[in-house]
């Protein structure tokens, strides 16, 4: 799966899932009958968040085009300042 990732604000990103093969297309098509809070849908968007911002956690998903496009609220990991 490929992802189109667009920053909206510091903690919000727009993610579009882009299937790369028939199996992924079939997966997304099968999810159209599911509810937006489906665990598989959440997992796909969490993977997209991790792909672009390692360690970030998906906290909220607002769908613009279910199940392919969503505004995702994320929490980025804390950076620890190291003093040498």
Q: Mean pLDDT across the chain, nearest whole number? A: 90
DSSP state of 21: S
> Containing domain of residue 65, as a range?
2-75
Structurally, the chain folds into a number of domains equal to 1
d(Cα 42, Cα 48) in Å, to the nearest integer? 10
Residue 33 has pLDDT above 80, yes or no: no
Strands of 12-18's sheet, edge to edge? Answer: 2-9, 12-18, 69-75, 57-65
In a domain, 55, yes or no: yes
Give mean pLDDT, residues 55-71: 94
Q: Given this model, what pLDDT does residue 36 score?
A: 76
DSSP state of 65: E
Instruction: Give CA torsion, residues 9, 75, 25, 27, to 10 deg.
Output: -150
In a domain, 42, yes or no: yes
């Amino acid at each position: 799966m490929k992802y189109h990732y667009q920053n909206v604000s510091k903690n919000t990103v727009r993610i579009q899932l882009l299937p790369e093969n028939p199996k992924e297309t079939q997966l997304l098509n099968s999810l159209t009958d599911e509810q937006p809070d489906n665990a598989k849908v959440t997992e796909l968007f969490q993977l997209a968040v991790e792909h672009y911002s390692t360690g970030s956690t998906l906290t909220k998903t607002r769908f613009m085009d279910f199940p392919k496009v969503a505004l995702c609220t994320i929490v980025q990991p804390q950076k620890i300042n190291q003093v040498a």
